[in-house]
Amino acid sequence: MEALPVMNKDELMEKIKDGKYMLFFSATWCSDCAFIKPSMPEIEKEYADYHFLAVDRDENIDLAAELSVFGIPSFIAFDKGTETGRFVNKDRKTKEQVEQFIDGLAS
pLDDT digits (tens, 9 = 90+) for 2-52: 999 999 999 999 999 999 999 999 999 999 999 999 999 999 999 999 999
Q: Residue 88, by phi and psi: left (phi above 0), alpha (psi -120 to 50) or beta?
A: beta
Domain count, the chain: 1
Strands of the sheet containing 82-87, edge to edge, are 2-3, 51-56, 20-26, 74-79, 82-87
57-81 pLDDT tens trace: 999 999 999 999 989 999 999 999 9
Write the CB contacts of 49 (distance below 8 Å, at least 6 apart in sequence): 20
pLDDT at 106: 61
Residue 82, domain CATH:
3.40.30.10
pLDDT at 75: 96
User: Domain residues for 52?
Assistant: 2-103
- The Cα–Cα gap between 61 and 99 comes to 26
82-94 pLDDT tens trace: 999 999 888 889 9
Selection from 66, 55, 50 nearest residue 99 by Cα:
50
